[in-house]
Chain A
Amino acid sequence: GAGVSQSPSNKVTEKGKDVELRCDPISGHTALYWYRQSLGQGLEFLIYFQGNSAPDKSGLPSDRFSAERTGGSVSTLTIQRTQQEDSAVYLCASSHPTSGGVGEQFFGPGTRLTVL
């Protein structure tokens, strides 16, 4: 079956513009995660959705970042008024928690965001 897909694969934007990054998780996966991978900070957790529960937003770096997940499936990460330090690869992952275990996270290929 299809894996996690993300679009666009690359995004170049100007400082101050808003951007939207999309993630399509694996069908049936109830959990969805966003991470950011940058040269200076490594891999960082941003936000986590689990079913209909309130999302865990503890990793979002500022109020310019927001995310939503519609219908328990597709998720959009929005960055408003982008800054150069937002340049990074944004990775999405999904998982289906197993009973008594830890569900493996399957990662998408990422969206490379460049803010000029």
Chain B
Amino acid sequence: AQSVTQLGSHVSVSEGALVLLRCNYSSSVPPYLFWYVQYPNQGLQLLLKYTSAATLVKGINGFEAEFKKSETSFHLTKPSAHMSDAAEYFCAVSDETGGGNKLTFGTGTQLKVEL
């Protein structure tokens, strides 16, 4: 069975500060990992994905994430937060083993950006 843990249901940063959203996974097979963002009253939008290529993955809107197998982590970072980054962020895992690409999501982290 696979699972995802997101530490911190709410994170608050100042505009211009570093954003760090934590994600740890559990998977019995090499995982595929994803970060999605959800703006209010909207669906999920893919930020980036890890599919066993480069361990440092760059996504949209200046976000990036690093896959660390030894730590079973896939933390999301952005060097400088912008007000428009305020949203809910979800980490997800898929093992793509005959079950299609169904995703198992973490519980989400609400990011607040303050002036």
The interface of chain A, by Cβ under 8 A from chain B, is 4, 31, 33, 35, 42-45, 48, 50, 56, 58-59, 91, 93, 95, 97, 101-110
Smallest Cβ distance from B51 to chain A, in angstroms?
5
Supposing A43-B90, A102-B32, A102-B96 touch, asked if A48 and B44 sit within 8 A by C-beta, the answer is no
CB distance from A34 to the nearest CB of B (A): 10
Looking at the complex, which one of B32, B49, B101 makes contact with A31 (CB distance below 8 Å)? B101
Report if B77 contacts A (CB, 8 A): no
Q: Which residue on B lies nearest to A104, using beta carbons? A: B46
> Which B residues between 57 and 115 are near A, CB-CB below 8 angstroms?
90, 92, 94, 96, 99-108
Given contacts A42-B108, A91-B43, contact A56 B101 (CB under 8 A): no
Residues of B within 8 A of A (CB): 32, 36, 41-46, 49, 51, 90, 92, 94, 96, 99-108
- For B107, give its contact among A42, A48, A56, A104 (CB under 8 Å): A42
| Contact between A45 and B42, CB atoms less than 8 A apart | no
Whether A104 pairs with B49 at a CB distance below 8 angstroms is: yes
Please report the C-alpha to C-alpha distance between residue A38 and residue B4 in the assembled complex, in whole angstroms: 17
Query: A107 touches which one: B44, B51, B107 (CB < 8 A)?
Result: B44
Most buried by B among A45, A50, A104, A109: A45
